[in-house]
């Protein structure tokens, strides 16, 4: 039997900005502080094609150093001068960077496509030295070289400072700097204080969390299956819909059938939608803004309503929920919201979906081409049923679902129902 693959890591080293940067503290926005709390997000980009020529690690390091000049807040640290009011302290320290080497080729571990991972997460994801708190960091990177010449780039970022699109914007700049561009193609904008600070609603009792034992799996939804439902929606409603609408309707319907709640029991769907386009009046340019611009939406129906509804009807309900979200977000920004929309029931009746297929991490080029596969690694969350949408590994098309949304008694039916639609 082949020996298990091992990864040898160098100690974390700081990559400081390549030039002088401003000091002082910067505020975070009301959305940053409300939506994200102090969550760190881990993900991996897999690069199969062996690069030629220059030292790719040194090139990438240089990309970070140069990008940290226009993106100088990322070289700082999270501070909390008063409880509940985190800020960014622009210390200019830089980002922690880890070099690593794997004892195997990417082919030996199936391109890191399998769940559970063939290499432990801790071997692929960067962490700061033991005497530095992870929660204080803004972004860390690890580049792991495989014996075939391919790479896995592990990124850990603070959700307090970036949403997914914002982190992808920064990494795109790192890639552009690594490839020798004179400046990032998108000019970064901080402007957190341009986001209105609506009055905080009174806090209710703290949520009670139940830990679930979710079955973890991946499933591919083909482009043909998605197109078939899109065509149905167009024929029955004369409306267009998105891939997100179709895939979400499929999962919501299949899961309701699988968990077999009482007919009148409520089943809920939760998702976060990007709202940058709604901030054009608040920001100098929404394009360069890399803070949190997401807002929670969703819908609730009885179990019977979801199981008896057609996919077209569920797609329509999802589209209506997205439309309502825009109005609610603008209401919240204007201080008109009476309650906090972040209070979602975290129980087995709620399904939370997250779309990573269009965030931008799949388009980052550090100088050795675009990744063949990008996937999240926050799969230790076990308090809410969740599904993450990814682009499948190249050259496959469609959507890959990373599923952690049913427990063992419901897994077989859920898989059967999904396979009928996928």
226 with 111, same domain? no
pTM for the structure as a whole: 0.93
Do 309 and 416 sit in the same domain of this protein? yes
For residue 163, being part of any structural domain is answered with yes
Give the 3-state DSSP-derived string for the chain, with helices as H, strands as E and coil as C: CCCCCCEEECCCEEECCCCCCCCCEEECCHHHHHHHCCCEEEEEEEECCCCCCCCHHHHHHHHHHHHCCCCHHHHCEEEEEECCEEEEECCCCCEEEEEEEECCCCHHHHHHCCCCCCCCHHHHCCCCCCCCCHHHCCEEEEEEECCCCCEEEEEEEECCCCCHHHHHHHHHHHHHHHCCCCCCCCCCECCHHHCCCCCCCCCCCCCCCCCCCECCEEEEECHHHHHHHHHHHHHHHCCCCCHHHHHHHHHHHHHHHHHCCCCCCEEEEEEEEECHHHHCCCCCCHHHECCCCEEEEEEEEEHHHHHHCCHHHHHHHHHHHHHHHHHHHHHHHCCCCCCCCCCCCCCCCEEEEEECCCCCHHHCCCCCCCCCEEEECCCCCCCCCEEEEECCCCCCCCEEEEEECCEHHHHHHHHHHHHHHC
Domain final residue, candidates 156, 179, 194: 194
* pLDDT for residue 382: 79
**pLDDT beyond 70 at 322:** yes
Identify the weakest region by mean pLDDT among 140-154, 185-199, 390-404: 185-199
| Lowest mean pLDDT across 73-82, 96-105, 285-294, 308-317 | 285-294
CATH assignment at residue 284: 3.30.559.10
Q: Which residue has the higher pLDDT, 385 or 199?
A: 385
Is residue 158 domain-shared with residue 262, that is, in the same domain?
A: no
Catalytic entry in 123, 159, 245, 355: 159
pLDDT-based confidence at residue 35 (cuts at 50, 70, 90): low
pLDDT tier for residue 203 given thresholds of 50, 70 and 90: low
Does residue 346 surpass a pLDDT of 80?
no
In the prediction, which pLDDT does 143 show?
97
206 domain residue, yes or no: no
* Residue 333: band (very low, low, confident or very high) from pLDDT cuts 50, 70, 90: confident
Distance between CA 147 and CA 259 in Å, rounded? 44
- 151 & 190 share domain: yes
Same domain as 230, residue 153: no
Domain shared by 186 and 226, yes or no: no
Tell me, yes or no, whether 170 lies in a domain. Answer: yes
The residue that leads in pLDDT, 116 or 378, is 116
Query: What's the pLDDT score for residue 264?
Result: 95
Can you give the pLDDT at residue 200?
64
375 belongs to a structural domain: no
How many domains does the chain fold into? Answer: 2
Indicate if 28 and 163 belong to the same structural domain. Answer: yes
Taking the CA of residue 273 as centre, how many other CA atoms within 13 Å lie in the half-sphere pointing to its CB?
23
Lowest average pLDDT, out of 85-99, 162-176, 183-197, 245-259, goes to 183-197
Q: Find out whether the peptide bond into 116 is cis, omega within 30 degrees of 0.
A: yes
Which carries the bigger pLDDT value, residue 109 or residue 336? 109
Q: Are residues 161 and 283 in the same domain?
A: no
Asked if residue 343 and residue 282 are part of one domain, the reply reads yes
Do 53 and 164 share a domain, yes or no?
Answer: yes
Last residue of a domain, one of 160, 194, 228: 194
Active site (annotated) includes residue 159: yes
Residue at 54 is within a domain: yes
Residue range(s) defining the domain that contains residue 313: 217-357+381-421
Query: Does the annotation mark 132 as catalytic?
Result: no
pLDDT at 60: 94
Q: Each residue of 363-405: pLDDT tens digit?
A: 999 998 999 999 998 767 778 899 999 999 999 999 999 999 9
Rounded distance, CA 403 to CA 217, Å? 5
β-strands 95-102, 139-145: how paired?
parallel
Q: Are residues 349 and 274 in the same domain?
A: yes
Asked, for residue 363, whether it belongs to a domain, the answer is: no
Would you say residue 203 lies in a domain? no
Flag whether pLDDT at 46 surpasses 90. yes
Mean pLDDT of 69-95: 96
Mean pLDDT of the chain: 91
Query: Over pLDDT 70: what percentage of the chain?
Result: 92
pLDDT at 316: 97
Boundary (domain end) residue, out of 162, 194, 226: 194
Q: Is residue 365 situated within a structural domain?
A: no
| Domain match, 165 and 225 both | no
Identified catalytic residue from 108, 136, 347, 365: 365
């Amino acid at each position: 039997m082949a020996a298990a693959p091992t990864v040898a890591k160098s100690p974390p080293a700081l990559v400081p900005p390549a030039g002088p940067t401003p000091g002082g503290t910067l505020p975070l926005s009301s959305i940053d502080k409300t939506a994200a709390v102090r969550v760190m997000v881990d993900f991996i980009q897999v690069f199969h094609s062996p690069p030629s020529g220059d030292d790719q690690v040194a090139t990438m390091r240089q990309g970070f150093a140069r990008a940290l000049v226009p993106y100088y807040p990322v070289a700082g640290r999270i501070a909390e001068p008063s409880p509940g009011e985190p800020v960014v302290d622009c210390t200019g320290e830089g980002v922690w960077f880890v070099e690593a080497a794997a004892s195997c080729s990417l082919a030996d571990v199936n391109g890191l496509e399998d769940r559970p991972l063939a290499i432990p997460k801790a071997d692929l994801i960067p962490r700061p030295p033991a005497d530095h708190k992870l929660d204080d960091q803004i972004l860390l990177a690890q580049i792991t070289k495989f014996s075939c010449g391919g790479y896995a780039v592990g990124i850990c970022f603070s959700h307090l400072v970036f949403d997914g699109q914002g982190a992808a914007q920064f990494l795109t700049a790192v890639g552009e700097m690594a490839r020798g561009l004179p400046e990032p193609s998108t000019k970064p904008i901080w402007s957190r204080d341009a986001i209105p600070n609506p009055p905080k609603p009174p806090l209710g009792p703290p949520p009670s969390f139940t830990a679930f034992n979710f079955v973890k799996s991946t499933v591919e939804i083909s482009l043909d299956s998605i197109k078939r439902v899109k065509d149905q929606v167009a024929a029955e409603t004369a409306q267009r819909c998105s891939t997100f609408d179709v895939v979400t309707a499929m999962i919501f319907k299949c899961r309701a059938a699988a968990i077999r709640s009482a007919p009148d029991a409520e089943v809920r769907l939760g998702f976060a939608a990007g709202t940058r386009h709604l901030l054009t009046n608040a920001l100098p340019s929404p394009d360069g803004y890399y803070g949190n611009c997401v807002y929670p939406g969703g819908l609730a129906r009885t179990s019977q309503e979801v199981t008896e509804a057609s996919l077209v009807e569920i797609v329509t309900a999802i589209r209506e929920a997205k439309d309502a979200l825009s109005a609610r977000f603008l209401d919240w920004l204007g201080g008109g919201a009476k309650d906090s929309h972040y209070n979602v029931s975290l129980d087995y009746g709620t399904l939370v979906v997250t779309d990573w297929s269009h965030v931008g991490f799949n388009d980052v080029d550090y100088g050795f081409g675009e990744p063949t596969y990008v996937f999240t690694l926050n799969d230790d969350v076990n308090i809410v049923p969740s599904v993450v949408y990814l682009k499948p590994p190249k050259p496959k098309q469609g959507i890959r679902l990373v599923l952690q949304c049913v427990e063992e008694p419901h897994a077989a039916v859920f898989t059967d129902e999904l396979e009928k639609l996928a």
